Amino acid sequence: MKIIVCGMSGFVGNALHDFLSAQHHEVISLSIRSNSSVESIVAVLDGCDVIINLAGANILGRWSTTYKKLLRSSRLETTASLTHALTHCVNPPHTLVNASAVGVYDSYHQHDEYSRHFGDDFLSTLVQDWEVAALKASALGTRVCIMRFGVVYGNGGGAMAKMLPAFKLGFGGRMGDGFQMISWIHLEDLVRACLFLIENKELEGIFNLTTPEPICNLEQTKKMGKYLHRPTFMSMPSWVVKFLFGEGSCVMLDSKEVYPKRLQEAGFAFRYPTFDSAMEQIVHDQG
């Protein structure tokens, strides 16, 4: 297949490029900027089979007013440009696979894809608006799959790259009270699930890309200490996280207990369903 990846320079995008290329697909990067013409986007999209849209500024950080505008524009405007370009394609792609996030859900319930318990904060609103923008492609005859990512763990980047240095130095510890649930996915399972959605053409709509076994922050901390052979007595109180990250601290402190019901119903099998299996692989891969 000819697969266009929008947002290929990031941690997930690079992994998708390598994985899909190894499966003998033609993978092409597409960068959409504010001054990108619809003609230039159409020239790349027309005749391709699949678009994977990952574009968006990093959600981890301090959310100033300016940065919140960037978080929205980098997702909504890019996605709108893609769907607008589809209307001008003679041979439009048959599938759009669009990134999203479990941040759409509230912190008080267990969630699968059928949950309607959404948050009422900035992040949830952003994710909902992003999904609406992507789903507009379905009215144009393009199948749309929405991937709601949990925290992505793997070597070479992402959340694990930010966590490992502190843990290896013995400064690892829980955040807040440690009872918040973390819904996560190993990078290898994420790219496999993305191709699974592409290849199974009867699938469409919302899919949680999270393992079947979410873990609380405290338990995750203990397991990281176990596999890295380091103490985990340190902690970062909630007020410190909020002081450092402001409103953006919700990404680290809010509980998200999310399950991949639709993926499992469709027959997808996780290689790393537990945090133990993921840590074993990550530590082994690091030598």
Its pTM stands at 0.95
Which of 73, 89, 26, 88 has the alpha carbon at shortest distance from 52? 26
Q: Provide the residue-wise pLDDT of the chain in tens; the chain has 287 residues.
A: 999 999 998 999 999 999 999 999 999 999 998 889 999 999 999 999 999 999 999 998 889 999 999 999 999 999 999 999 999 999 999 999 999 999 999 999 999 999 999 999 999 999 999 999 999 999 999 999 999 999 999 988 888 888 888 888 888 889 999 999 999 999 999 999 999 999 999 999 999 999 999 999 999 999 999 999 998 888 888 988 898 888 888 988 999 999 999 999 999 999 999 999 999 999 888 76
Q: What DSSP line would sit under 142-157, residue for residue?
A: -EEEEEEE-EEE-TTS
Q: Residue 15 corresponds to which tokens in the numbers above? A: 């992994």
Per-domain residue ranges of the chain: 2-153+184-212+257-271
From residue 198, give the alpha-carbon distance in Å to each of 73, 185, 278.
26, 18, 24
Helices in 87-215 by DSSP H: which ranges? 122-135, 158-168, 187-199
Distance CA 74, CA 83 (A): 15
* CATH dotted code for 2-153+184-212+257-271: 3.40.50.720
Helix pair angle (217-228, 275-286), 10° resolution:
30
- Yes or no: say if 73 and 121 are a contact pair by the CB < 8 Å rule: no
